[in-house]
Structure formats: structure tokens, C-alpha cells
Amino acid sequence: MTDARLKVYRGDSEGGGMVEYTVPVEAGMVVLDAVHYIQGHQEPDLAVRWNCKAAKCGSCSAEVNGKPSLMCKTRLDDLPLDQPIEVRPIKTFPVIKDLVTDVSWNYEVNKRIAPFKPATEDTDSWKVYQEDVDRVQEFRKCIECFLCQNVCHVLRNHEKTDLSNPKQFFAGPRFMIRLASLEMHPMDVEDRVPFTKNEAGIGYCNITKCCTEVCPEEIHITDNGIIPMKERVVDRYYDPVMMVWRTLTGQK
Amino acid sequence: MTTLDKQYETREHDVIVVGAGGAGLRAAIEAAHQGLKVALVTKSLLGKAHTVMAEGGVAAAMGNVDPADNWQVHFKDTIKGGKFMNNWRMAQLHAQEAPERIRELERWGAVFDRTPDGKILQRPFGGHTYRRLCHVGDRTGLEIIRTLQDKAVHTPGIDVFMECTITKLLKTDGRIAGAFGYWRDSGKFILFKAKAVILATGGIGKAFQVTSNSWEYTSDGQILAYDAGASLIDMEFVQFHPTGMVWPPGVAGLLVTEAVRGEGGILTNSKGERFMEKYDPARMELSTRDIVAKSIYAEVKEGRGSPHGGVFLDVSHRGAEYVKKRLPSMYHQFKELADVDITAGPMEVGPTTHYVMGGVQVDAESAQSDVPGLFAAGEVAGGMHGANRLGGNSLSDLLVFGRRAGLGAVEYIKSLGGPVNLDQAAVDQAIDEMLEPLTRTDGENPYAVHRELQQLMQSHVGIVRTEADLQKAIEILQGLKQRAMNVKASGSRQYNPGWHLAKDIKTMVIMSEAVAKCALQRKESRGGHTRLDFPEYDPYWASVNSTIHKGEDGSMVVGTQPLPQMPPELKQLFEEEKH
């Protein structure tokens, strides 16, 4: 059996550094297994957030050799084991301890999004076809791992995370997708286009698609979610023909 | 804050909901709708609870695909699947109310897969007579938890406490007065004053080595209730899901959804035989979980297993596009974690600890336990599923009884006269219990004790049991209990998993003892309880539930009580079938 060396970030909001550990490698082992091995045999107080270990809950996000990943899906045999594997907490959110970050900001953002509002409560009268919900279902695959939030340069580098100042705020790709999933739901009658433009800061996204690249659910965040939402904002606010049409018909 | 700081903050609510999976969320929503001030306390982040891992679907007799379906058939399937051990009234309420709970989810924004005529699509599953499982591909649990999560967030009156763990329930004058806990991120203590507590904490699977359960399944609610004086029932009935991954070792136990079989998956042994023909020729792969799990166990035991000690499950004949559309997570799970392409060939699967049918004894209508003000819903409660749960009945259970527990708490609080006072001595004791592992310098590592417990439960109290193994297990558990009481936690209190496990390991050892003792007591085989030395059903054991409670002296009291008998009009349903 070979060994792997892991350099794991140990520290808290005050600071910290990388600490190296050696872990025996088993067939099919993932980075989360290696971190658990350290926890179970060497450092019981090593903090790591995880739940399902099956890529369904999105808890174990980290940066493995610099790449934002779910630790439960990152296999050791896909990494070069001749050098230490570096495991760091996701950078965009503040460190609580070791690999655990404070992602509560995301939950605050979610609260601001108007919930689903159906045209009628009588679901027996609904006729909703599969082709009507395919694209919404793609967005609803999101497991809230926040890796897209982590790599979004508007949040990561420009720190547009100020909940009290719309000019310094971008809801991030996760919540663009959430908005899209509600706006494109065939039975929804709420209007979130003004919110998308004025409060969620969709204008900040300049479509670099970094979010799409890291999505473990392979959601086409930019192409299928953000760009169509941008188009709705443009139609509403910048297309004179559509503005007249809406005034005449009263449609949203 | 120093490591041994005894300070705590105090919060006051009408009701505390412990756990934010499907049952906890649904309970919180209902209680808040009725005007209560609710604390929703979860030891993980919101939306990460075990419900998120449910895959195949939620059972409800909507009749969208098979119009002949109705609650009576669902009720009968549930009772038969539970080997007649179910609380009949829970099974009845569940079957009657599940369809409305699904429609409600749709009104709250859930997006299920659709039929060609625009209704919710339903798929077949083991033990269900008709196509009954509403689903979203193989990520139904995610859809349900996200829908409920967003509903709860937008429901006034619910305060959410994330990464906050309840360690003790507090009683005054024999009824619930609050709960004590700690914040994971800071390690600081928190006291909740409340008139009622709803437990929605899930199962016990982390006591076993091979399990589909997450770190959260450490029997918290069962033991909080037990310590508070509530009875538990049927703890011997543990569901070993027939299909977990067996290879590679790191993912052993990970769930392979029953939807693979629902979508036409075929089980074969190393000789290429479709072995379910021998064990249940009528239902084959869609037999109930207990039967399929035992069949796989027998095939492997008799030398017809796959290379890594499982059997083969193949759905590739349905075609690559169909499999990817219907079973997307399974496709990715095998591709990424096991280098297996399930659209091209079989997967290797074997039984994995999945669910516990037993749990806190509750009143069917209100979900209240024996302790006034203490309620339980979802997996933590017992009775609904009898000796074996049908796939898909768990998600519907969460919705039906989560709501009922919320309503139960509302009614209970209405009936209360006067304020509820806290007993300070109990609070001090709760603090001391949490601090103890931090004061020890020479205790054991809790992870080491946990590993031994998991090995013991796997080998001695697993899918097939004998008197000798169970007695041996109970004896070893006494030693593990002593060791669990003396583990050490190092480091600070801030986000410290070792400290957390020092608490959990005590809980898991007591739960394991309850499972082993109930299993020893029940001298027959039924559903999720198989005794090699008593392989048949026994009419006496068909008439009683096992019970467990904490005796006056703190020791575990194991016994039985008569199984509640269903009224004639429900019995009639089973009679009609015989003719």
C-alpha cells in the first residue's frame, strides 16, 4: 500500500498555515476519506464539513491543489501522489476553522428572493408538461455547494457581498440560478426581473463562465441561466418595443 | 471563552424542532402557520439533512399513472411490507394524507417529473402494487428538501439555528420545558426554553460499519427521548437496503437507488442466474427490501457472489440515453467513484444499513411520545413501517407526520396552563456532561471506540443474527459503554469533531444495546430482523411490539406490549384479497 501526503490548512479567523500528514491509500479513496483518516487517527479536532459523502449534499467544498472541488468526488488516484496534496478551505468565505468556512451569507441572500407564487392553488387543474420543466429541473439540481460562488470573481476578487448596499452587491451564480428556476417555472406568476436587475446585481456578471466550469452538477449556469435572465432584464428595461407592448397588454 | 467556560445564552420559543430534514421542516412550517414561535435547530447547514440523499421517489396513491390506485391499496401494501407489525392507524393516516402532501409541495414550488398528459409522473417500486412513486429523476429528496427549506425560510415565526446541536432535553414536573445545546462554530452553549419539543433527527445507521447514512445518523433523537423517559419500540427492525455499492472500499455502503430496479434493473449472481426467481418469482427484483437483501446475502454466502462480495445489478438494457435521463446521479456516481459505466454493463451491489423502522413510540394522530410535550416525526419515530419499510414510504412519512407533529404541538400548547419553568440543576448537569471529555487528559480517542462499535454491530447485530452473536454483542457493548464514558476530547471547543463524537459515541452505544437486546428478545424472523436460529414467523411474536425504556435506576428495561389491532373495516381489506 502506498502513502499519500496531504497538506491541510489548519487555522481559524486569526490565521493559520498548512500542516502535512501522511495517509495510507486504499483503492478508490477520495480526498474526504483521507481527511477523515487524519481526523480519526491523528487529529480528532480537525474541522471539516461533510454530510452525505455521495456528492448529493454539497457540504464538503474545498480547494484541492488549488482547484475548487467537492472532496467526496475527488479521487486520490486522479491526483499526482508524488507531491503533497494541498487542501484549503474555499477562499471567498471567511474561515471558521481549518477547512470549514462561514457560508451564512448565502442563506441571507436566499431570504431576499421572492418565493414561488403559483397562478392557482388548485394543482389538479395544472397541466405542466415535461418539456416545460426540463430547464427548470436543470437549475433545481443545484446542491448548494457554493463552489460557483467561490470562483465568481465578482465575489472572490471584487467582494461585491455587501448586503446593505445594492451598488456593492452581487447575489452570485447560485442565486442567479435560483432566480432563473423561479422565473422560468411555468406556473409562477411572481415578477423578479426588477429584483434581478436592481438588487441582485446581474449586471456585474460578465459571463466568464468560471461558475459553470466548477459546477459538480454540470448545470449550464451561464448559458442556460444567467444569459436568459440578462435577456429578460434587457427586454424589460432597454427594449422600447417591448416596453410599449407590455404597457398595452399588461403582461409581465 | 476558555475551554471549560460554563456560560450560555438563553432563547425562548413555543416549540423547538430538532432536525431540519423533511420531517423537521414540515413540522416547523405547520407550527409556525398556526402561530407558534418556532426554533428550528439543525446540527448541519440548512438543506443538507439526510432527506437530501433520498433518491427514488415519494409514495402517494395519486393514481396519475395507474388510476386503480387508492389509499386502501397503499395502506395494504404498507402493512404487508411491514409484515403486519405496523401501527395500523399511522399506516392509514399516511396512505390517506400522502397525496395532499404532494400537491402541497407542488404548490410550494416542487417540480416533479411529468406524465405525457401533464400530471406528476409515478414509477414502480418494490412492494407497491401500482406505479406510485412521484419523483424527480433520482434526486427526489433534494427536490423535497429544497422546496421545504425555501418554504420555511419564507414562513414568519421560524428562527433557524444552523450547526447547533441539542445535547439534552429538559423537563419540569414530568413535562418538556426546553432543551440544551451548543453552537458548532464557536463551541458556545445555548439554552432553549420551550413548551414543546419535536424530534425529527433521523436514524441510527452510523453505529454500523457499512451504511448509506451520513455522519448525522447517530441516534440523537431516540436517545434524547429515551433519557427523557419516553418509550422506544421495535428497535430490532433495522433495514438493510439490498443495494449499496461494494467497491471501491471508500464508497462501500453508498446507496444505489431502488429506482434502478424500478426502471427495470436485473439482479444476477456470478453464474449469470437471475436469482430472484428462486426467492420471489412473482415480484422478482421488485420484492420488498428485506427479501431482496436476504436473497443477496444468501447468494454471496453460498459462493455465487461478484468479485467484491456483492451481486450484479444491470440496467444497461434500457439504453444509454434512458438510463442517463432517469438515473443521472447513479450514472455519475458509478462513473466517477467506481470507473463503471452503468449504461454499458452491470454494477456490483450488496446490502447496506439504511433505515431503522423502530423508534420513539408516538400517538398516531398527534405524534406525541409518552412524555408530555415531546413529539417525534420521521425516521426517529417508530410504528409506521412495522418490521420493514417500503421504498418511497419514508419521504411521504416525513411530510404526513411532520405536519401532524406540528399540529400536535399546537394542540398540546393550547392545553397547557401556566408558564413552564426550567430546572437549573438539569441545565448545570447538561453543561458538565459536555465539558467532561475536555477535562480528561488520559482518555481514549472517541474515533477508536466508534470504529470498534461499528465493527461489532456489523458482525454481530447485522443482517443475520443468532442468540450467541447477540449475547456476545451485549457483553462487549458493556465494555464499550464504559470506554465511551471515558473518552477524551483535545483542542478547543470551536468546530471540534472529536468533541462532538465524544458526545455521539455515548448515544450510539446505548442505541446499539437497545437494538441488540430487542433482537435477542424477538425469537423469530420478520422483516428487518432475521434470526438464523429462529428462521420462521412466530404467531406469538406477531402479536407484540418490543419496547425499551429507561428504568428508575437508569438501566435499560426491555419488554413487549400488545400490537394495536386494526378495526374490522380495515381487516376486511385483507380478507377481500383472499377471496
B155 contact A CB<8A: no
B129 contact A CB<8A: no
In terms of DSSP bridges, do strands B15-18 and B133-134 run parallel, antiparallel, or are they unpaired? unpaired
Which of A50, A51, A179 best tests the B interface by mutation, with the highest count of B CBs <10 A? Answer: A51
Whole-angstrom distance, CA of residue B9 vs CA of residue B178:
13
Q: Which of B135, B115, B326 is nearest to A131 (CA)?
A: B115
Cβ <8 Å between B214 and A51: yes
Q: Cell 489548519 maps to which residue?
A: A10
B492 contact A CB<8A: yes
Whole-angstrom distance, CA of residue B81 vs CA of residue A113:
42
pLDDT score at B421? 86
* DSSP secondary structure letter of residue A223: I
B114 contact A CB<8A: yes
Look up B241 and say whether it is catalytic: yes
Cβ <8 Å between B338 and A28: yes
Q: Pull the grid cell for residue B147.
A: 422546496
Long-range contacts of A52-55 (CB under 8 A, 24+ apart): A52/B48, A52/B50, A52/B52, A52/B53, A52/B214, A53/B214, A53/B251, A53/B254, A54/B53, A54/B251, A54/B254, A54/B255, A54/B333, A55/A143, A55/A216, A55/B329, A55/B332, A55/B333, A55/B336
pLDDT score at A190? 98
* DSSP secondary structure letter of residue B118: S
Judge whether B34 and B19 are in contact, CB under 8 Å.
Answer: no
pLDDT in tens, A216-246: 999 999 999 999 999 999 999 998 887 788 7
pLDDT score at B578? 58
Judge whether B134 and B11 are in contact, CB under 8 Å.
Answer: no
A29 contact B CB<8A: yes
Question: Which pLDDT tens digits describe chain B residue by residue (579 residues)?
Answer: 889 999 999 999 999 999 999 999 999 999 999 999 999 999 999 999 999 999 999 999 999 999 999 999 999 999 999 999 999 999 999 999 999 999 999 999 999 999 999 999 999 999 999 999 999 999 999 999 999 999 999 999 999 999 999 999 999 999 999 999 999 999 999 999 999 999 999 999 999 999 999 999 999 999 999 999 999 999 999 999 999 999 998 889 999 999 999 999 999 999 999 999 999 999 999 999 999 999 999 999 999 999 999 999 999 999 999 999 999 999 999 999 999 999 999 999 999 999 999 999 999 999 999 999 999 999 999 999 999 999 999 999 999 999 999 999 999 999 997 778 899 999 999 999 999 999 998 999 999 999 999 999 999 999 999 999 999 999 999 999 999 999 999 999 999 999 999 999 999 999 999 999 999 999 999 999 999 999 999 999 999 999 999 999 999 999 999 999 999 999 999 987 655
CA distance B237 to chain A (A): 23
pTM of the shown model: 0.97
pLDDT score at B419? 77
Q: Which of B158, B177, B137 is nearest to B40 (CA)?
A: B158
Q: Pull the grid cell for residue A55.
A: 456528492
Cβ <8 Å between A30 and B250: yes
Whole-angstrom distance, CA of residue B196 vs CA of residue B179:
9
Look up B522 and say whether it is catalytic: no
In terms of DSSP bridges, do strands B8-12 and B189-193 run parallel, antiparallel, or are they unpaired? parallel
pLDDT score at A247? 82
Residues in chain B, how many? 579
pLDDT score at A240? 86
pLDDT in tens, A123-136: 999 999 999 999 99
Whole-angstrom distance, CA of residue B197 vs CA of residue B193:
10
Nearest CA in chain B to A52: B214
pLDDT score at B430? 98
Q: What ipTM was reported for this prediction?
A: 0.95
Average pLDDT of span A67-77: 96
Q: What is the DSSP string of B61-85?
A: ---SS-TT--HHHHHHHHHHHTTT-
Measured at the CA of B490, the angle between CA B489 and CA B496, to 5 degrees, comes to 75
Whole-angstrom distance, CA of residue B225 vs CA of residue B507:
11
